[in-house]
Structure 1
Amino acid sequence: MERKLFLKNSLAALGLATIAPLMKACSKDDDVGTDTDTDTGSSGECSVTPTETAGPYPTKNPSSYERSNIVDGQEGVPLTVKITVKNTSNNCAALSGALVDIWHCTALGYYSEYVVNPGGGYSSVDYTGSHFLRGRQVTDSDGLVTFTSIFPGWYGGRAPHIHVHIYNAGGTSLLVTQIAFPTDVCDTVYTTASPYSEHGTQDTSNSEDGIFRDSLSSELATVTGSVSAGYTLTHTINVSA
């Protein structure tokens, strides 16, 4: 954990990362696991969801993007994101009034607000003036926030994912984590839908991913739907508030 935080802070200081340092920054260690990918959904235990790195592309000014629709003109398969936040300090009761920030890459692996090269033969693109696929919502009485987005793509060295940062109502950080996607759903989207099929299937499985390989049971979302109708992601994140 100390190594991961050191690397995250180092990347933040640089303000820009290419894929090579990204692959290292997102690793909890240097081992590579075996691809079992028995994806079954998030854990129901009342324990705090694992903390993960926010970098290297965190939202620079999240309070400016209080919105439920974060598509901002990006092309992709529709995705509804439903995140429920629970409080382990209150027997995992729903946590209302929490601030939930999410951000993820485009169908081809690019992030807004940075100069990014997602690998896979794609060139670096300067998106420093864009803010797509980033947003903030406040949890309701059921601890729920809902975002309208697109199914994220992937970039070299990482399994598909969504970043999440949760704060209390006063703005104090409670948890930074990430959400993983079921492999079978990703394979369907990446091989049959445009523009994902231009990039193909991800080069890193959940069990090989430096973030998810030791915490997949609590970070894997449930995803239902289809390419034609769109998908819905549901996931519960536990924090200590």
Structure 2
Amino acid sequence: MEQEHRDLFDLGLQADLTMLQQSPLTRRRLLKLGLVGITSFLAGCTPFAGQSSTPTGGPTSTSVAGSGSVSSPTALPASPTALPASPTVAATVSTPTTAVTPTSAPVAECVSPIPTETAGPFPGDGSQGASLNVLARSGVVRQDIRTSLGTGNLAAGIPLRLELKLVRAGGDCAPLAGYALYAWHCDAQGRYSMYSSGVEGEDYLRGVQAADANGIVVFQTIFPGCYSGRWPHVHFEIYPSLDQATSARNVVHTSQLALPEDICRQVYADPQYGNSLNNLGRISLERDGIFRDGWQTQMATVTGSLNDGLVARLTIGVPGV
């Protein structure tokens, strides 16, 4: 034992310098290890915590989802002089890869085919003679249909924006871009331009629009009145293109849209709608000659207000195109 104690302090200059570079705590630990421990340390075989190399049986790696690998330390044997172990974070942290999903195309809106309805007695589409064909008149392709093409007179009434979307019924339900829609309806007093007494010389509330890439046509008009015997409605005919929207012989489909009762009652409280409110009270959808067999595909959704204007929307499923 005396010989070993002497050997601890007689290992040469290099050993002395190495020992001097250690912290006081490390030197105390080395002295407790004795000759064999100091010799192994100097040979680089037994580094302590805090040295640059990784200890044998050191930290084990634990995988953490989405954040790479985080090391967990292995505890040193319990000792009154043991140094506190610090967790070591792995130098390389993986970055999770997120797959990029391409933006999908808009889903087509599928609706049931809208039923074929009569064009009624006041179509103005040339089916009753050339003199009653607004489709042949210059300027009929227009969005704002409140003004007469010939006289410039304006139809009075609560503003209404019609937004109608044409889609192929069944199949792929694709929008019918490029198809044309001719819309017409009565004025606030329930009169049809070109036909009714007092407005024979007018052609307002009639117009044609081509569907855009989404199949949508838009008209700026007024809310139609309610005349005796019919539920408030708007007529329309669909044509393959603007070029063919010149007379009834090229019609693809003819139908009508209905307007909701609660909105009609609000509008018809306005004095300019004359007897419309009374006429509405004497008719119902169930008794209407057009809508009584089902109006689910023909009822427009109306939003907005009387002060700022109303918007009526309907997706029209066109069969056979």
* Correspondence list, 1:31-50, <5 A: 46-50=111-115
| Shift in alpha-carbon separation, 1:45–1:93, aligned structure 2, 3 A | closer
- Residues 1:141 and 2:231 aligned together: no
Aligned partner of 1:220 in structure 2 is 299
- Residues 1:112 and 2:193 aligned together: yes
Ranges in structure 2 where 5+ consecutive residues have no aligned partner: 1-108, 125-132, 148-153, 245-249
1:47 deviation in Å?
3.1
Identity rate, percent: 38
Q: State the SS of the aligned residue for 2:296.
A: helix
Q: State the SS of the aligned residue for 1:195.
A: helix
Q: State the SS of the aligned residue for 1:94.
A: coil
Match of 1:177 among 243, 255, 264: 255
Q: Deviations over 1:177-197 (max 9, x none)?
A: 000000010011112x23015
- Residues 1:164 and 2:243 aligned together: no
CA distance, structure 2, for counterparts of residue 91 and residue 46 of structure 1: 11
- Residues 1:194 and 2:271 aligned together: yes
CA distance, structure 2, for counterparts of residue 139 and residue 174 of structure 1: 14
CA distance, structure 1, for counterparts of residue 266 and residue 200 of structure 2: 31
Q: State the SS of the aligned residue for 1:146.
A: strand
TM-score (norm 2): 0.56
Match of 2:226 among 154, 162, 166: 154
Aligned partner of 2:287 in structure 1 is 208
| Shift in alpha-carbon separation, 1:77–1:134, aligned structure 2, 3 A | same
Q: Which range moves more in the overlay, 103-112 or 200-209? A: 200-209
CA distance, structure 1, for counterparts of residue 190 and residue 222 of structure 2: 12
8 Å contact from structure 1 (residues 76, 194) kept in 2 = no
Q: Which has the higher contact order (CA 8 A, sep 6+)?
A: 1
CA distance, structure 1, for counterparts of residue 198 and residue 275 of structure 2: 20
User: 1:57 corresponds to which letter in structure 2?
Assistant: F
Match of 2:174 among 88, 93, 96: 93
User: 1:66 corresponds to which letter in structure 2?
Assistant: V
Q: Which range moves more in the overlay, 222-231 or 86-95? A: 86-95
1:154 deviation in Å?
1.2
CA distance, structure 1, for counterparts of residue 180 and residue 145 of structure 2: 16
Match of 2:143 among 46, 54, 68: 68
Output the aligned Cα RMSD: 1.6
Aligned residues: 188
8 Å contact from structure 2 (residues 238, 251) kept in 1 = yes
| Shift in alpha-carbon separation, 1:110–1:197, aligned structure 2, 3 A | closer
8 Å contact from structure 2 (residues 237, 254) kept in 1 = yes
Aligned partner of 2:317 in structure 1 is 238
Q: State the SS of the aligned residue for 2:266.
A: helix
1:89 deviation in Å?
5.8
- Residues 1:57 and 2:122 aligned together: yes
| Shift in alpha-carbon separation, 1:45–1:95, aligned structure 2, 3 A | closer
User: 1:185 corresponds to which letter in structure 2?
Assistant: I
| Shift in alpha-carbon separation, 1:145–1:155, aligned structure 2, 3 A | same
Q: Which range moves more in the overlay, 57-66 or 47-56? A: 57-66
User: 2:208 corresponds to which letter in structure 1?
Assistant: R
